[in-house]
Chain A
Amino acid sequence: GENVEQHPSTLSVQEGDSAVIKCTYSDSASNYFPWYKQELGKGPQLIIDIRSNVGEKKDQRIAVTLNKTAKHFSLHITETQPEDSAVYFCAASKNTGNQFYFGTGTSLTVIP
């Protein structure tokens, strides 16, 4: 089955700095890669996603890159703000339904 690894497990940055979270996957058949943000006491919230036919996608301060050859994808958050503090999960899917394989999460702390 698919195995998704995520690094780092914790990340602290100063407000205004950038944050980068990296994930690798093992199954070359995976073709959809969403990123979720989970705040305390809430369910995961979809923040950005990328499909395997695209190398990069950007939405305001958030961007995701995908390298299919190396089987890794990354989340980039620029100009971080305290409200970006949360746990971030990457996931991979083979588009055969909504079965996602999740990374272990990155706890991001933005220090004011």
Chain B
Amino acid sequence: KAGVTQTPRYLIKTRGQQVTLSCSPISGHRSVSWYQQTPGQGLQFLFEYFSETQRNKGNFPGRFSGRQFSNSRSEMNVSTLELGDSALYLCASSFGHQGFAEAFFGQGTRLTVV
């Protein structure tokens, strides 16, 4: 069974640009969550999508957005990039039903903003 796939693995962008990251969840999983990981702030929740609807949202500015498609694949977009957006962006997938569904992470996309 394939795991969570995130593309691309590495990205270098310039301040002010925008970027789109992609996540393909484990087959059958309908929930996709996104996290930002930095040395200073650790793992912070961005948002969660379930059946194409945003179910939860973390405390990030509106420059961070996401969406989920009917096949459960998800994308997140960051507009007007800032140096502080440099981080490892992680996607996690789970069945997403009420009832303690385990979440499995992808390897992440390493974003560097210069």
The reply to whether the CB of A102 lies closer than 8 angstroms to some CB of chain B is: yes
Count how many chain A residues have C-beta atoms less than 8 Å from C-beta atoms of the other chain: 25
| A 28-68 to B, binary, CB cutoff 8 A, 1 in contact else 0 | 00011010100001111110010100000000000000000
Within the complex, the shortest CB–CB distance from B46 to chain A, in Å, comes to 10
Q: Is the CB of A97 within 8 A of B50?
A: yes
Interface pick from B11-19, B63-71, B77-85, B96-104: B96-104
- B90 and A100 contacting across the interface, CB-CB below 8 Å: no
Q: Interface of chain A, helix or strand or loop or mixed?
A: loop
Q: In the A-B complex, list the 4 residue pairs whose CB atoms are closest, starting with the nearest.
A: A43-B105, A102-B43, A98-B33, A99-B56
Q: Interface of A with B (CB < 8 Å)?
A: 31-32, 34, 36, 41-46, 49, 51, 89, 91, 95-105
Known: A43-B106, A98-B56. 15 other contacts (CB 8 A): A32-B100, A34-B103, A44-B90, A46-B102, A49-B100, A89-B43, A97-B33, A97-B56, A97-B96, A98-B96, A99-B33, A99-B45, A99-B56, A100-B103, A104-B42
